[in-house]
Amino acid sequence: TQLLEQSPQFLSIQEGENLTVYCNSSSVFSSLQWYRQEPGEGPVLLVTVVTGGEVKKLKRLTFQFGDARKDSSLHITAAQPGDTGLYLCAGTNYGQNFVFGPGTRLSVLP
Amino acid sequence: EAQVTQNPRYLITVTGKKLTVTCSQNMNHEYMSWYRQDPGLGLRQIYYSMNVEVTDKGDVPEGYKVSRKEKRNFPLILESPSPNQTSLYFCASSSHSGANGYTFGSGTRLTVV
């Protein structure tokens, strides 16, 4: 069974600070995705990474896929209260049994 | 607007009373899936469907049924709900077997008393 771990589990920071959250596995994935979920709503896709070493940027968010395609990181620059939410990573191997990590709950205080 | 629509958003029912949660997508996606989300356990896949008339078990299928008679609809059926099925349920759809990302519905919060 493929498992994804995320760290930290909880993170509370002040507006303007930078942060990095991590998604790790002992398994290789063909693609990995990051989602953000707000309370009472469904997760919303932020990015998909498919190539080892790939870096994608989405405004103040930078996503990196590990060279071995087993891990990923999400870095947020100058966090804002609107970044508050649950960040989920998810991996799949060519569409087989999609796996989600437990999430990192981020709180950005004004 | 491209979306996944779940109904109802909230449901309180009693043990043993059959219920169906509907899910419909308007993006012509082949792949659809049901998840439940519980505190401390994250999102766990219940059932998924690769296409019409093709369904398969996920990680936690016990106590649930699904059907995929049409491409757009993927209902979740609880034949005899029990309190341990109290949870937040999400339907999701994607093209290419999920590899390009899911579109999730807004969720159904189910309470079984």
Residues B77-96: tens digit of each pLDDT = 999 999 999 999 999 998 87
Q: Above 90 in pLDDT, residue A39? A: no
- For A64, the token pair is 């990196």
Residues of B in contact with A40 (CB under 8 A): 106-107, 109
Q: Of B109, B86, B78, whose CA–CA distance to B16 is shortest?
A: B78
Q: Of A83, A88, A89, A87, whose CA–CA distance to A107 is shortest?
A: A83
Q: Above 90 in pLDDT, residue B64? A: yes
pLDDT tens for A56-109 read 999 999 999 999 999 999 999 999 999 999 999 999 877 666 789 999 999 999
Quickly state the pLDDT bin for B17 (edges 50, 70, 90): very high
- Residue B16 DSSP symbol: T
Using an 8 Å Cβ cutoff, are A11 and A105 in contact? yes
- What is the rounded average pLDDT of the residues A10-30? 95
| Among B4, B100, B106, beta carbon nearest to A48 | B100
pLDDT of residue B19: 97
- For B52, the token pair is 């019409």
- Residue A101 DSSP symbol: -
For residue B87, give how far its alpha carbon lies from the nearest alpha carbon of chain A (Å).
Answer: 12
Q: Above 70 in pLDDT, residue A16? A: yes
Quickly state the pLDDT bin for A1 (edges 50, 70, 90): low
Chain-chain contact of B43 with A44 (C-beta, under 8 angstroms): no
Buried b (16+ CB within 10 A) or exposed e, A25-54: beeebebbbbbbbeeeebbebbbbbeeeeb
Number of Cβ pairs closer than 8 Å across A and B? 64
The answer, for B110 touching chain A at a CB cutoff of 8 Å, is no
For residue B18, give how far its alpha carbon lies from the nearest alpha carbon of chain A (Å).
Answer: 24
Chain-chain contact of A42 with B100 (C-beta, under 8 angstroms): no
pLDDT of residue A94: 73
Long-range contacts of A59-65 (CB under 8 A, 24+ apart): A63/A34, A65/A32
List the beta strands (DSSP E) in chain B.
4-7, 10-13, 19-25, 31-38, 42-51, 54-57, 65-66, 76-78, 87-94, 103-104, 108-112
For residue B22, give how far its alpha carbon lies from the nearest alpha carbon of chain A (Å).
Answer: 15
What is the number of other CB atoms lying within 10 angstroms of the CB of residue A20?
A: 13
pLDDT of residue B1: 87
Tokens 């059907």 found at: B67
